[in-house]
Amino acid sequence: MAAYPFREFIVGWKGWDGKTPSKVPRNQQMELKDFAAHVAEKFNVHHIEPWSPIFPSTDSKYLAQFRAAVEKAHSSVVDIAVDGGYSQYSTDAAVREKAVQATIHWIDVAAALASPSIRTHIDAAKDSQPDVGRASDTLARVAEYGAKKNVVVHLENDNPISEDPFFIVQVIEKVNSPWLRALPDFGNSLAAHDEAFQDRAMEAMFSHAYAICHVKEGEVNDKGEASHVDMAKTFGILKKHGFKGYCSIEYDAPGDPYQPTTEMVEQTIKYLS
């Protein structure tokens, strides 16, 4: 279960601008460390994928409390969705170094929480179009550190330019490390492209996937237009490539996430059966 759809229900969320309080009443919110117990009770799901912007702290004391709470819920952290904020392909070496250090920090967090993986963004650069050479050089260092900590690093088809699925595949193939893998998101490519592109994207991403994918029924773009995933087809691609990792349920549309999430859990179990 991804924490991202439930961000409004997590204590401390201040909106995308960092200033807008959650619309959810405080008595309906929960601490991030209690998210595992919450989804175990609500959805009978015992693996979680927390999101880096809603961590109240990453100091060792808090991470120990978080890990203890997850274990008490008989659950586990299986991935951390990380928003790094720095471009791995910027022409500025200092920016690329910040991208490395930011990701390394979250690899350490993952190790402290016994998470086998993280997802890091390939952020857009102000000074460059996506560049396979610079991105792969940067991410090779990240993968090397991940190997030392036994943490796999994933790249997701999210931003339609900086995280184009075929660009991601080129980077992964150039790095050529088992510690750098693809995270296929069922819906993200549909927000900017047609179904034919989506099908090719899923084929490419699942051919390099390992530990986790994001299950979505669709996306809503910047214009408020909704797209819808062909779930049967996408799960067919997943099975075709022998994917054995986690399916992280990530409802990503306006409105209350609880009922749609329940429905996606049921759909996922059906298609995986």
Please write the tens of the pLDDT for every residue from 44-57.
Answer: 999 999 999 999 99
> Sign of the CA dihedral 134, 137, 139, 141?
negative
CA atoms within 13 A on the CB side of 226: 9
Share of the chain above pLDDT 90, in %: 90
* pLDDT at 191 (0 to 100): 83
* pLDDT at 181 (0 to 100): 98
* pLDDT at 160 (0 to 100): 92
Hunting for tokens 């050089």 — which residue is that? 137
* pLDDT at 224 (0 to 100): 74
* pLDDT at 223 (0 to 100): 76
* pLDDT at 218 (0 to 100): 84
For residue 4, give the DSSP letter.
G
What is the b/e burial string over 91-125, where b = at least 16 CB atoms within 10 angstroms of the residue's CB? eeeebbebbbebbbebbbbbbbbebbbbbbbbbeb
Residue ranges of domains in the chain, CATH in brackets: 4-272 (3.20.20.150)
User: Which parts of the chain register pLDDT below 50?
Assistant: none
* pLDDT at 1 (0 to 100): 98
Q: For residue 236, how many other CB atoms are within 10 A of its CB?
A: 12
Its pTM stands at: 0.96
Query: Strand 212-215 to strand 218-220: parallel, antiparallel, or no bridges (unpaired)?
Result: unpaired
Q: What tokens does 38 get?
A: 């919450």
